Amino acid sequence: MLYVVTVIVIVSLLKQTNALPCSGPQISVCDCEDTKVYCYGRNLTTLPSNIPITTTDLYLSNTYISTLAEDAFADLVSLDSIVLSNNALSSLPVELFSRNINLKSINLDSNSLSNIPSELFSSNIKLLAISVANNALGSLPGELFSFNTNLEFM
């Protein structure tokens, strides 16, 4: 068991050491590795501009982002996974993920979400996993996942 944990830690550290600062104004606050963009643990209050359009994995956890525009991720059509956990999001625009048709994983854990629009994930038919734990959600709309027939984890 200790061996497995050690291997996981080493692999995680190697992944982090390969990440280099992203080039370009604004996005330089993040690190990039191939098509992955790591902006976690930064003192961000807004989404960095100039996120590369080829981004497949976007990590925006542990920041201070409180609002997102409905077109925040519109240009990121290759986005496969997004982590928005541990932020200050209280609401999400209904069109937030509408252009991200390749999304397979969304993590919205530990925000201040009190509701989720019923059509938020209607364009994300490839969605396999979503996590919304540790929010202020009373209940979820019954039709929220009606278009997500591949959903395996929630």
| CATH code of 59's domain | 3.80.10.10
62: left (phi over 0), alpha (psi -120 to 50) or beta: left
Confidence grade of residue 119 (pLDDT, cut at 50, 70, 90): confident
pLDDT at 19: 65
Three-class secondary structure of residue 151 per DSSP: coil
State how many domains the chain has: 1
Q: Is the pLDDT of residue 69 over 50?
A: yes
pLDDT (mean) for 12-25: 55
- Domain of 37 in residue numbering reads as 1-154
Query: Is 149's pLDDT higher than 90?
Result: no
Give strand ranges (E) for 12-121.
Answer: 20-21, 31-33, 36-38, 57-59, 81-83, 105-107
Residue that wins the pLDDT comparison between 53 and 49: 53
Q: Can you tell me the mean pLDDT for 138-153? A: 59
